[in-house]
Amino acid sequence: MAPEALEAMLPYFSEFYGNPSSMHFFGGQVQKKVNEAREQVADFLGAEPSEIIFTSCGTESDNTAILGTLDSYPEKRHFITSRVEHPAVMNVSSHLSRKGYRTTEVSVDREGRLDLDELKESIANETALVSIMYANNETGVLFPVEEIGEIVKSSGIPFHTDGVQAAGKIPLNMKKSTVDLLSLSGHKLHAPKGVGVLYIRKGTRFSPFMIGGHQEKGRRGGTENVPYIIGLGKACELAKKHLEEENTRVRALRDYLEVKILEKVPNTLVNGDRNNRLPNTLSVSFEYVEGESILLLLSDLGICASSGSACTSGSLEPSHVLRAMGVPFTAAHGSIRFSLSIYNTKEEMDYIIEHLPPIIQRLRDISPFWKDYLKAQGKV
Ligand code: PLP
């Protein structure tokens, strides 16, 4: 979390604990602060404050955008998304398919780029919504969101994008965008975990997902998580200021790490379109080793990366993203993702570069697949 965001939040746990819905002055001053946070978020997104709904997380924003739109077009029973979405969209698509909706998951190529022809061909009269992510959370690959939006809007269909990974990394301006609904999540922006935003363009048809009180103008019931909303507002203000640093210093750190890893570790691939990626993300596959083993050994050294082969579900299958891209099995299993931020330093990159190559070598020395590979190459 940004220290400034934490500092802005703290008084709203103690001194100013009023409920923004209350009529008295004590609630009113909190309501004023929530409105200020809404303005900060709107300013960050180039949107109107009335187009901002606070939610509990990116997942709630994605679910609300999809289920809330489909609910307002009951006669339309087709949903389009991509094969590489975050589970917050992917699993909603599977849920819809079990409920009798027709769903289309558009393919990507080996570099993780969306097949725009397949998207065009899949649009039908019965399509209620297209939801395609802005940037992929595993590879950082950026989709051409405005081009996608033009295709979708030319058929008069609403367009949602999961902007969770893109926000704070690339400039967003909803006033000049084709996007109707956009999801954000606090913790990707140095705000706390457990708060999110759904942007809904004025005039977009929508039914609330969280049905309850009059909060958020009746579009999301439930008492507001005031301190977290204030932290998110502050984080958005900071993210706007740090955008340039993300695209210069952070990008240079990521590129340095990438070049050094490729130089020092043989049989290594970078996943995703290297010319069209978020500045902070590096997905890298080390052939013939297990991503989880690499992560555990890195973790022992205080290096926190995440698994691209995501066996979080306990399955030994590589991630759906890398499978959709056709990354070979031997590489997909050994994938890890580094996500950098403005708080990372060159010294930290050097520390990784010092310790990663011996870890990979150690794991390959005990890998039967690596031994088979060396034999096939006539190297043993
Ligand atoms: N969408 C994307 C692309 C993400 O990367 C994430 C979280 O990592 C989410 C949605 C879900 O956000 P949250 O964890 O706030 O529910």
Q: Where do the structural domains in the chain lie, given as residue ranges?
A: 3-241, 243-376
Out of 93, 137, 232, give the residue to mutate to test ligand 1, the one with the largest number of ligand atoms within 8 Å of its CB.
137
Cα(248)–Cα(29) distance, integer angstroms: 39
Distance CA 284, CA 209 (A): 37
289-318 pLDDT, tens digit per residue, is: 999 999 999 999 999 999 855 444 455 678
Q: 36 with 233: CB under 8 angstroms?
A: yes
Which of 54, 59, 138 gets mutated to test ligand 1 (max ligand atoms within 8 A of its CB)? 59
The residues, ordered by sequence, that sit 6+ positions from 271 with a Cβ below 8 Å of its Cβ are: 112, 138, 139, 283, 284, 285, 308, 322, 325, 327, 335
Count of CB atoms situated within 10 Å of the CB of 97: 14
Summarize pLDDT for 254-285 with one digit per residue, the tens. 999 999 999 999 999 999 999 999 999 999 99
Q: What does the pLDDT read at residue 310?
A: 47
Helix (H) or strand (E) holding 260: helix 251-264
Dihedral, CA atoms, 344, 346, 352, 355, nearest 10 degrees?
Answer: -140
Residue 15 has φ and ψ, to the nearest 5°, of: -60, -45
> Ligand 1, from 81, 133, 185, 193: best to mutate by most atoms within 8 Å of Cβ?
185
Percentage, residues of the chain above pLDDT 70: 98
CA 56 to ligand 1 centroid distance, Å: 11
d(CA 27, CA 33): 10
Question: Taking Cα atoms as reference points, which of 182, 92, 125 lies closest to residue 105?
Answer: 92
Average pLDDT over residues 143-148: 98
Is there an atom of ligand 1 within 6 Å of 192 CB? no
CA-based nearest residue to 59, from 189, 196, 236: 196
Return the pLDDT at 321.
Answer: 96
CA distance 158 to 130: 7
Provide the 3-class DSSP secondary structure of residue 270.
strand
Mean pLDDT to the nearest integer, 74-81: 98
**Residue 266 Cα, ligand 1 centroid: separation in angstroms?**
32
> How far is the C-alpha of 56 from the C-alpha of 229, rounded, in Å?
9
Q: From CA 150, how far away is CA 157, in angstroms rounded?
A: 10
Ligand 1 atom with the smallest distance to the CA of 135 is: 3
Q: If you classify domain 3-241 with CATH, what class do you get?
A: alpha beta
In the CATH scheme, what is the code of domain 243-376? Answer: 3.90.1150.10
Instruction: Calculate mean pLDDT across residues 22-26.
Output: 94
Tell me whether residue 146 is exposed, middle or buried, using C-beta atoms within 10 angstroms of its C-beta: 0 to 12, 13 to 18, 19 or more: exposed
Distance 41 CA to ligand 1 centre (A): 18
Residue 165 Cβ inside 6 Å of ligand 1? The answer reads yes
Quote the ligand 1 centre to 377 CA distance (angstroms). Answer: 42
**Residue 311 falls in the annotated catalytic set:** yes
Distance 307 CA to ligand 1 centre (A): 15
pLDDT (tens digit per residue) in 100-132: 999 999 999 999 999 999 999 999 999 999 999
CA distance linking residue 229 with residue 34, whole number of Å: 7
Q: Give the per-residue pLDDT at 311.
A: 47
Report d(CA 88, CA 70) in Å as an integer: 16
Can you give the pLDDT at residue 308? 58
Q: Is the CB of 86 under 6 A from ligand 1?
A: yes
- 237 vs 199: CA distance, rounded Å: 16
Q: Which residues does residue 127 pair with via DSSP β-bridges, in sequence order?
A: 78
- In 3D space, the residue among 30, 10, 8 whose CA is nearest the CA of residue 19 turns out to be 30
Average pLDDT of the chain to the nearest whole number? 96
Residue nearest to atom 8 of ligand 1 (CA): 137
Mean pLDDT confidence for 164-193: 97
Cα of 264 vs centre of ligand 1, distance in Å, is 32
Closest ligand 1 atom number to CA of residue 88? 10
Is 75 buried (19+), middle (13-18) or exposed (0-12) by CB count in 10 A?
exposed
Q: Is the pLDDT of residue 140 over 60?
A: yes
First and final CA of the chain: distance in angstroms? 50
Is the Cβ atom of 148 under 6 angstroms away from ligand 1? no
Residue 109, amino acid: D
51 lines ligand 1 (CB under 6 A): no
59 CB near ligand 1 (under 6 Å): yes
